[in-house]
Amino acid sequence: MKKTILLTAALLASTALSASAETLRWARAGDSLTLDPHAQNEGPTHTLAHQIYEPLIIRDMTGAFQAALATDWAPKEGDPNVWVFNLRQGVTYHDGADFTAEDVVFSINRAKTEDSDMKELLTSIVDVVAVDDYTVEIVTDGPNPILPSNLTNLFMMDKTWAEANNTVEVQDVEGGEMTFATTNTNGTGPYKLVSREPDVRTVLAANDAYWGVGEFPLEVSEIIYTPIQNAATRVAALLSGEVDFIQDVPVQDLGRVANTDGLVVKTAPQNRVIFFGLNMGSADIVNDDVEGANPLADVRVRQAMSMAINRDAIKQVVMRGQSQPAGMIAPPFVNGWTAEMDGSTQTDIDAAKALMADAGYADGFSIQLDCPNDRYINDEAICQATVGMLAQIGITVNLDAKPKAQHFPLITNDQTDFYMLGWGVPTYDSEYIFNFLVHTRGEERGSWNGTGYSNADVDAMIQSLASETDLDVRNATIQSIWDEVQAETMYIPIHHQVLNWGMTDAVGIDVSPEDDPKFKFFSMN
């Protein structure tokens, strides 16, 4: 009740503030998890950060590279182990301080630390050197041809501001820590933070001193961001005019929104796969009824579970046709994806039952499925459908759905045995997937590998990708790793998401495959 009252008050306040056509009232299902730009590698968190902070390089609304705080970058002549970044001059932070190479050195080193959720992207970096105020050299452990792809969500912080506010260390989100950077910001981006009530309302205002004035439309002068978890409430807010733009139109309401005068729905495939993770590494698991054994440790059980899930039914019934069934945990955008692997899944209840019997579980077992209810399109509904499908092979699934802020730490803290996760690939390369989801969990890699899978040979292949410059050799290694992932059924792919953005016809923008609207590109008709 309290949250409903706060939401209503926030929407009424938003309406009162929106007299100007330049105010954009934005809503989506879930909020940013933190304002610390290095603490969480999560889509909605990065989306809000992109309005306030900036990386050296960004991807524009089509997914193409674009210069941000670096004007150009290239391997150093005569030394392929070094990338040289020339920085944009005349850039200031929101408090007026100058952006310099010292801030780049500080930010990258900060993002490499243990509590950072960005560290897997930076494992090949051995040193960051400020050559002068506007030149930075990044030294890698061997040539790294895709380093720029790893930096598009790596935000630059003001070293002096961080030191003055005791926020040099990255927030320990999993440990429940709160720091100054959790709720305060000082970026170089097009918008400044005005106010923030997590899960209720965040207000941003245009940065009049932004370096990009004249280079980008910058027609949105104020952003009022209201997370609305309930799908019906979110759509009602758009239909009534209380918000102008929602990122996640529920599939059941696409026609209703599209057929409303003054509203439009824009659709595009997303660079993201939805899947289930399985704890295959533990000798015994907690949330099942099998004593002294882990049924998920048997590949036949994992294969049977995958075969029991009817992805076409999920597409037609749960997603109303708005998904693409998947057979691997890489989207088609990504280097390493193949149509053969992506089409490898099949539904076969009889074969699944036979596998269960072969594994010694003819009578099935019970297990808990952990699922978010405010992160992915119809996430809880997909999990509910999966419960019924697995029941056909004797697996009783107890569903526990909760907000992503409570769900994600279950994975990163090894507190779940069967869970839903979605994964986007901002680098467009399989190495990103392998570093986070396949490599043995450790200090530098594997932070989202909740499966317990560990293979030293596979780890070595993954690590080799960062410095392999022969693309044929590199792609062959990528395929070898995928062969292992597919054979082990570490994960159960469900589908590739389709994005549906709903907006008033006054908003001019196309859908980004990263689902990350950058409002400096928006026009207001």
CATH 3.20.20.140, domain 2-244+506-524, yes or no: no
How far apart CA 182 and CA 171 sit, in angstroms, is 7
Which pLDDT score is estimated for 17? 36
Distance CA 460, CA 394 (A): 38
What is the torsional sign of CA 90, 95, 97, 99? Answer: negative
- Give one DSSP letter per residue of 274-339, joined into a string: EEEEE--S-SS-SSBS-TT--GGGSHHHHHHHHHH--HHHIIIIISTT-EEE-SSSS-TTSBT--H
**Chain centroid offset of residue 45 CA:** 8
Find all residues with CB under 8 Å of 213, minimum gap 6, and list them.
none
Task: Find out whether 409 and 173 touch, Cβ atoms under 8 Å.
Answer: yes
Average pLDDT, consecutive stretches of 10 residues, N- to C-terminus, the chain (525 residues): 41 40 91 97 97 97 94 96 98 98 98 96 97 98 94 98 98 94 98 97 98 96 96 96 96 96 96 97 95 97 98 97 97 97 97 98 98 96 98 98 96 97 96 98 93 97 94 97 98 97 95 95 91
Q: Tokens 């659709």 appear where?
A: 267
pTM of the model: 0.89
How far is it, in rounded angstroms, from Cα 385 to Cα 391? 10
Give every CB contact of residue 476 below 8 A, 6+ residues apart in sequence.
Answer: none
Which of 385, 383, 377, 414 has its CA nearest to residue 400? Answer: 383
pLDDT for 470 equals 93
- Phi and psi angles of residue 15, each rounded to the nearest 5 degrees, phi first: -65, -40
pLDDT of residue 174: 86
Q: What is the pLDDT of residue 444?
A: 87
Q: Beta strand pairing status for 222-227 and 23-28? A: parallel
Q: What is the pLDDT of residue 499?
A: 95
pLDDT at 452: 97
Q: Give just the sign of the alpha carbon dihedral 260, 262, 268, 273.
A: negative
Domains of the chain, residue spans: 2-244+506-524, 270-498
CA distance to 142, 206, 259, 349, per residue, from 195 (Å): 44, 13, 35, 53
Q: Name 192's bridge partners.
A: 205
What are the structure tokens assigned to 498, written together?
């389709």
pLDDT value at residue 525: 83
pLDDT at residue 443 in the model? 80
Alpha-carbon gap, residue 489 to 87, rounded angstroms: 44
Q: How far apart are CA 525 and CA 518, in angstroms?
A: 17
Torsion sign across C-alpha atoms 44, 45, 48, 50: negative
What are 56's two structure tokens? 């050296």
Question: For 270-498, which CATH class?
Answer: alpha beta
Q: Give the alpha-carbon dihedral of 153, 156, 161, 162, to 10 degrees.
A: 60
Taking only the tens place, the pLDDT of each residue in 72-117 is 999 999 999 999 999 999 999 999 999 999 999 999 999 999 999 9
